[in-house]
Structure 1
């Protein structure tokens, strides 16, 4: 009897769980290590581009089971309140990470994926095998390791990844609000000085509010509430929303030291997925879809390069790098340009005026940051 192929996934978010499900369906023995218990809230925009839905259905993951909101419109405003609206060709859905991650976790466990609640402290690659050590004294040996642990981790320091050594001036804040006037079919992106804020409804009817701000702009104020009152309120649409909403969380969730720097796709033979491989600017609105798409790319590269239970690791890593670049590099680059433009008040207002004169520019921008349906 041939030995089963073993994969360890570091992180049980969207990318990690999707890859685990994909590989398990192809006969791999998969272990996911996740430090947090399910279900849980996470700092996230909670809008999923519909481009990813055909792929998920191919894995028998039908997100309609969660009764998501269906989103077909985009509203964007500058700090001064100038607004433009457009239809989203593909559209998307609004779904909380609380529901989605738990859904994927349950599906993974059902098909035999082993999920451990633990924290990884070290990963060693020796003689074509990985050893993953955890804080609870577990030591797991596998043929492959996927890094799907999010934006930053102590593992990044262990692996001596370049971006982790640099101080990053961004932080994210997220909460849910009750607001019956916010439209179910719309995702809104509103600029403010030093950042931007996304709003969209989730499956519960709550509006997810998630904003990204520079630390430079945030540190002038004592806390998120003061920042909201003194900075976010300067955008009239955000002011109106907050004044007519009730916060549902006891307090905001936050994450600091967010990096948009280029990251290595493969690090010491670990395939990096999702935010661990590269973070697209939230203005582009499809980070969740890209995370799950990266799981597809990695899983298919692994399957393609296992022949008679022998792994061609070099070919696997080359294929993964090539497919990542083909699918994401231009979108990440364009997202960076878009962010720089929209965070400059003069450029943002000028761009808004151009778009109002030539409306076809906005669908072009959306197309540059989104993909086609993924099958």
Structure 2
């Protein structure tokens, strides 16, 4: 079976679905391929900066229908429990990926996107056309392919991307809980070998998601023991975990998370979201970046089909330039903060500085968040 579209999007996560909705809104024929069924819980912090709200409104995405929490404050703590609380300049909202992805999927289908549940096995680019083959022996052709296949994929290996050649020591764990936690607060808490984000999503549910160094994690028998012996050494996290009841049968995990630099265009494919670059969770802004990257790629692809961008080379150069302009400094700040917090003495020094001079934390927040995205 062979299908043809103007654009094929590989991956139906936050970035892929946002791009599909954008492109279909401006009249571009889109096929989106996603290997999993909708909806599905995902390992994610589930906090989104309000910087994306104007763009979501332009896409006719009514976030309020999902009854998200409204988040206005950040609490940051080091592993010994020293903490500071500060107002977030733009604020944000909390919504589960289970609810958000399901909503976006329905919106994409309503817009006329063709969504195929299948696994992409190969992407070949030749003579200005892509040929995409799936595990169900489907062949799809398009002039543009957008890569939205997440943090790590078999496609990365097929493309021989640099980051995939390096072993990563990071493991992420996420679960939903019931318990008492302020709805207006997002917590970012450091512990030995990792970081944990805590915030509420819809239905008064607490999302707890943390990133752990595998060398530290593997010394323990299981997640429960690790959380008790390591994560809970931060008194803020101990208080939250002790007073909360997990709603999942077991936590979700994902391994081999890489924060190595990635190229925004590989073999002609425009990469968006985590496929193009992953910001450290302690910066709390990966979901907003995914949405923003989808907008950048979709705007340029639209301009390409309108004839305003006259060549693929120009399209790729413009995307490289805009990706770097919007995200390079944010990703760099994430890497710097991570290195600081990995060392207890440095993290304590940073805490002393931000407690005495709170504007320093505000500067860090500005460096890891963007301005409102106006279409």
Q: TM-score, structure 1 length as denominator?
A: 0.97
* Cα distance in structure 2, aligned partners of 1:287 and 1:43: 12
The equivalent of 2:318 in structure 1 is: 319
* Cα distance in structure 2, aligned partners of 1:310 and 1:323: 14
Contact 2:51 2:90 in 1 (8 A): yes
* Cα distance in structure 2, aligned partners of 1:133 and 1:199: 40
* Cα distance in structure 2, aligned partners of 1:56 and 1:312: 29
* Cα distance in structure 2, aligned partners of 1:356 and 1:293: 32
* Cα distance in structure 1, aligned partners of 2:34 and 2:308: 27
The equivalent of 2:250 in structure 1 is: 251
1:159-170 aligned within 5 A:
159-170=159-170
Displacement of 1:113 in angstroms is 0.3
Contact 1:306 1:312 in 2 (8 A): no
Displacement of 1:310 in angstroms is 8.7
The equivalent of 1:54 in structure 2 is: 54
For residues 82 and 117 of structure 1, do their structure 2 counterparts lie closer, same or farther at Cα, with a shift above 3 Å needed? same
Contact 1:51 1:289 in 2 (8 A): yes
Contact 2:5 2:31 in 1 (8 A): no
Displacement of 1:226 in angstroms is 1.0
Residue 360 of structure 1 pairs with residue 359 of structure 2: yes
The equivalent of 1:155 in structure 2 is: 155
Residue 83 of structure 1 pairs with residue 83 of structure 2: yes
1:1-375 aligned within 5 A:
6-179=6-179, 181-307=180-306, 312-375=311-374
Q: Deviations over 1:184-216 (max 9, x none)?
A: 000001111000100000012110000001111
Contact 1:5 1:27 in 2 (8 A): no
Displacement over 6 Å in runs of 4+:
none
Contact 2:5 2:141 in 1 (8 A): no
Q: What SS is found at the alignment partner of 2:351? A: helix
Unmatched 5+ stretches in structure 2: none
Q: What SS is found at the alignment partner of 2:204? A: coil
* Cα distance in structure 2, aligned partners of 1:125 and 1:69: 43
For residues 128 and 11 of structure 1, do their structure 2 counterparts lie closer, same or farther at Cα, with a shift above 3 Å needed? same
Displacement of 1:305 in angstroms is 2.3
Q: What SS is found at the alignment partner of 2:130? A: strand
Contact 1:305 1:315 in 2 (8 A): no
* Cα distance in structure 1, aligned partners of 2:357 and 2:224: 38
* Cα distance in structure 1, aligned partners of 2:82 and 2:333: 23
* Cα distance in structure 2, aligned partners of 1:311 and 1:154: 32
- Mean Cα deviation higher: 303-312 or 163-172: 303-312
Unmatched 5+ stretches in structure 1: none
Q: What SS is found at the alignment partner of 2:196? A: strand
Q: How well do the aligned residues superpose, as a CA RMSD in angstroms?
A: 1.2
Q: What SS is found at the alignment partner of 2:256? A: coil
Displacement of 1:227 in angstroms is 0.5
* Cα distance in structure 2, aligned partners of 1:325 and 1:43: 26
* Cα distance in structure 2, aligned partners of 1:306 and 1:110: 22
For residues 5 and 84 of structure 1, do their structure 2 counterparts lie closer, same or farther at Cα, with a shift above 3 Å needed? same
